[in-house]
Amino acid sequence: MFPANRMKLSLVAALLCAPLAYTTAQAANINVTRNVSSLNKTMSDGVRVTFWTFSGALPAAAVEVGVYPDGTTTTDTLNLTLSMGMMTPQDSAPYNGHTIHMHGADVKTSEDGVPETYNDVNGDTYTWTPTRDMAGSYMYHCHVHTVKHLEMGMYGPLIVRPKNASGTWLNQLTHNTATAYDYVQNYVLSTVDPAYHTATGDSTVFADYNPKYYMIAGNEGKTTGAPAISLTAAKSKKVALRLIGIHSVSSTFTVKDGSGNAKPFTIYTQDGRALATPQSVTSLDISPGQRFDVIFTTPSTAGTWYPQVTYKNLRDGGTYTNGTVYGRVTF
Amino acid sequence: MTWQCRLLGRIMAAILLFAVGATEAAVRNYTLYITAGSHTINGAGGATLSAWGYSDVAGSPKIPGPVLTAYEGDTVNITVVNNHTLNHNFVIQGVTTDATAIAPGGNRVYSFTASTAGSYLYSDTLNSAINREMGLYGALLVGPADGSNKAWTNGPSYSFQRTWVIGEMDKVRWNDVAGSGGTVNTSIYKPNYFLMNGLGGFDAMGDPNTTIDGVVGTSALVRIVNGGQFSHALHFHGNHVQVLTINGVRQISPYKLVDAINIPPMGTADVLYVLNQLGEYPMHVHTAQMETANGVYLNGVATMIMMH
Ligand SMILES: [Cu+2]
Ligand SMILES: [Cu+2]
């Protein structure tokens, strides 16, 4: 463990010195800090479930880091800090403490937030400098005893978003202008098995997953009338949805109108990489750990569409009772 | 090791044959014995389960069955001997279609010409998935005719390959019951053991046939075959993988880059992991319980990626 820590210290030193070597006008250091805090949430059936969160939000607030157009050497560097000494609540050893794993970021081992590969569990700063081919959606989540800590709510969207050469955010999924959007929302998919929230250590509870609550963006949204997430858009505009799978079962995403007709949408990126050929579909399976960025265009006449996620069991893809969660886009 | 040796032989043979302008096709004979016995998951949370398996040596089951290898054009003869007390069969998905039951004490020969490079699942398709769940599944790998380190002829190259046969077992409701001659209620399946090459994660993380372990700059062709009944959503740390095939369907270059891939029950995928940076990383399933052995964290579907 010690050599890895020393390696990390020298890495931090190198980063501190680095700006002198290649100064660029627009490069940004994006410094974000999260702490650990619990959240008691009353679920749709009146049951209170305790979550562990990053800074009190379920899911945690999105973190955005920029990438620049072809021909510029500028890069943004994300320094995502989990504050030291802010580790309550936590479990006892060996699953004490917390980390942040930037899922899909492919960072150095010392930045990966995995305790089993020598990352500290008592607070740290995780650094990532994405390149322009990495525009898209990721997530950050705790990587301690993930079977529990993910379930507890320690996750949030991590977005690599294009900037122009002077450092202004672009409303595009990638630097390809075909991915321009007028509106964007993060659809974080997650599920809750309350038994996992009270079990600790290597309990046999963790051998069997029985989700009871299904969510988008931390809300249940069991009906079109009370959606988990909603958006008021204009007609004939592009709506981008970032679909981020931190759930623990299978799922299918669709966009339907009020009569249940599936509407086409286009997939531009998957797991933070642009598809060579964007794909127009009416249904998309999203598995745990996957991210997709999709765009659809609202019609020219007023109405309401319901982007929705149907959660399914891992064995035969059968849908769970009350397993569909609705979003809503009004135009 | 055997793969490399065979490969060397193939290359030398290919050079020789090329000189005389002929094509070569080997005959590969395998014998598999269907055997009842037990299978042990080591480490905390582990257990010994009743199991049935295909084995290359008569006597005790092997979970999964042995990896069978061939090259395009080879004639493959597989003799399956049923040393168990129930009917069984042997079907290579996408390759053979003979699903006839082999009676206890009987045997059957399956012959075919290996035709399309790729990774295939073989399994026992009888008895409402119980035979498969008990361990009767494995992988057939077919390489290109020239024996080269390519996923297929003129396809992507790799430095070394790994085969991940994944699956699960429900000890209490399936293995204990079927193993003692009882009737499994197949409508309920709550597996508590999740396996890579028959191993729990504690073993899989140190198993040289399972870990991706190599020098930076090399690449691993990872052949994933799901013999289980659950979807396995695998997540790679350290680098994205290139998706080369999905359920036997060759993808088109440029290959999709993903860090998470879902392998449905009886699904297959070939992915290329380029060893891009120094370090140690996990590869693990991203669904809660499947990372555990009866609830013990990381003794489920997990292995290591070691880049040096
Ligand atoms: Cu945690
Ligand atoms: Cu993750």
**b/e B59-69 (16+ beta carbons within 10 angstroms → b):** eebbbbbbbbb
Domain match, B35 and B63 both: yes
Domain match, B99 and B165 both: no
Contacts B290 to A, Cβ<8 Å:
314
How far apart CA B100 and CA A161 sit, in angstroms, is 56
Considering the domain boundaries, does residue B209 fall inside one? yes
Residue A130: exposure state from Cβ atoms within 10 A (0-12, 13-18, ≥19): buried
Distance of CA B281 to the CA centre of its chain: 22
| CA trace torsion B2, B3, B5, B10 (10° rounding) | 140
Instruction: Confirm or reject contact between A248 and chain B (CB < 8 A).
Output: yes
Considering the domain boundaries, does residue A10 fall inside one? no
Contacts B289 to A, Cβ<8 Å:
147, 206-209, 248
Q: Do β-strands B107-113 and B75-82 pair in parallel, antiparallel, or remain unpaired?
A: antiparallel
pLDDT digits (tens, 9 = 90+) for B188-234: 999 999 999 999 999 999 999 999 999 999 999 999 999 999 999 99
Other C-beta atoms closer than 10 Å to the C-beta of B249 total 9
Considering the domain boundaries, does residue B155 fall inside one? no
Domain match, A291 and A197 both: yes
Domain match, B258 and B299 both: yes
Task: Supply the range of the domain harboring residue A156.
Answer: 29-179
Structure-block tokens of residue A151: 């379930």
| Mean pLDDT, residues B99-121 | 98
B219 to chain A, minimum CA–CA distance in Å? 16
* Residue B7 scores a pLDDT above 90: no
| Mean pLDDT, residues B179-183 | 97
Instruction: Confirm or reject contact between B251 and chain A (CB < 8 A).
Output: no
Q: Do β-strands B212-214 and B302-307 pair in parallel, antiparallel, or remain unpaired?
A: parallel
Considering the domain boundaries, does residue B242 fall inside one? yes
Considering the domain boundaries, does residue A69 fall inside one? yes
Q: Phi and psi (nearest 5°) for B182?
A: -80, 180
Distance of CA A268 to the CA centre of its chain: 17
Single pTM value for the model: 0.92
Domain match, A203 and A112 both: no
What length does chain A have? 331
Q: Please report where in the chains the tokens 């600790």 appear, as a residue.
A: A200
Considering the domain boundaries, does residue B15 fall inside one? no
Domain match, B128 and B170 both: no
As residues whose CB is below 5 A from the ion ligand 2, the structure lists A 103
Considering the domain boundaries, does residue B164 fall inside one? yes
Distance of CA B35 to the CA centre of its chain: 18
Domain match, A193 and A136 both: no
The number of distinct structural domains making up chain A is 2
Identify the pLDDT of residue B134: 98
Domain match, B126 and B242 both: no
Q: Whose CA is closest to B137, among B37, B233, B66?
A: B66
Domain match, A197 and A141 both: no
pLDDT digits (tens, 9 = 90+) for B126-150: 999 999 999 999 999 999 999 999 9
Regions of chain A short of the pLDDT cut 70: 1-26, 86
A175 to chain B, minimum CA–CA distance in Å? 18
* Residue B10 scores a pLDDT above 90: no
CATH of the domain at A272: 2.60.40.420
The number of distinct structural domains making up chain B is 2
Domain match, B170 and B301 both: yes
Q: Whose CA is closest to A246, among A211, A278, A200?
A: A211
Domain match, A34 and A77 both: yes
Domain match, A155 and A211 both: no
Domain match, B119 and B193 both: no
Identify the pLDDT of residue A26: 64
Domain match, B171 and B300 both: yes
SS3 content of chain B, % helix, strand, coil (to 5): 15, 45, 45
Considering the domain boundaries, does residue B139 fall inside one? yes
B193 to chain A, minimum CA–CA distance in Å? 8
Task: Supply the range of the domain harboring residue B188.
Answer: 160-307
Q: Do β-strands A77-82 and A29-34 pair in parallel, antiparallel, or remain unpaired?
A: parallel
Identify the pLDDT of residue A27: 79
Considering the domain boundaries, does residue A201 fall inside one? yes
Domain match, A67 and A153 both: yes
Considering the domain boundaries, does residue A11 fall inside one? no
Q: Which of A192, A246, A271 is most worth mutating to test chain B (most B CB atoms within 10 A of its CB)?
A: A271
Considering the domain boundaries, does residue A22 fall inside one? no
Considering the domain boundaries, does residue B75 fall inside one? yes
For A202, which of B44, B259, B290 is closest by C-beta distance?
B44
Last residue of a domain, one of B74, B109, B143: B143
